[in-house]
Amino acid sequence: MNQESEQKCVFCDIVAKKAPAYIIDEDDLSMCILDIHPYTEGHCLVISKRHVPWWHGLTEEENTSLFKMAQKMANRMMKKFNPDFVFLYARGRRIPHTHLFLIPTFSGDVLDRFFSALENFQESPQMLAKLKEPANMEKASRLLQQP
């Protein structure tokens, strides 16, 4: 990523304390902030302090920090908000800077309904059913086992 792109990154500005944010916690490599467009109360983002678009582009040390922070915050969310679970997903499409969504999720809320619908979709179409066939599972397994 070039320097000009990084300078326009809202997460880089938050890390540099040039943009406002509700900072929940941070360490040397990661920061947890409240999402300004929450799905539920307590919805947070865990961001890398270094500008890297995708989590798999981080160093091992940065990933360890990122996911340790996510685990710490998820446990805190479980204690403070008592959700059914804390939903985690990695993103970087709209804002190309590594961030993990941590969303306290409750039965029947918007994410629960969305993923229930997605799971129903995943279980039904013919095209997706072919992915479960042993030959296709073996092929995908072999491909992913190769470095």
Domain ranges of the chain: 3-106
Q: How confident is the model at residue 65 (pLDDT cuts 50, 70, 90)?
A: very high
Distance CA 18, CA 13 (A): 5
For 105, how many CA atoms within 13 A lie in the half-sphere containing its CB? 16
pTM of the model: 0.79
pLDDT digits (tens, 9 = 90+) for 120-132: 776 666 666 777 7
* pLDDT the model gives residue 7: 59
> 7 in helix, strand or coil?
helix
What does CATH list as the number for 3-106? 3.30.428.10
pLDDT at 139: 87
Residue type, 124: S
DSSP state of 57: G
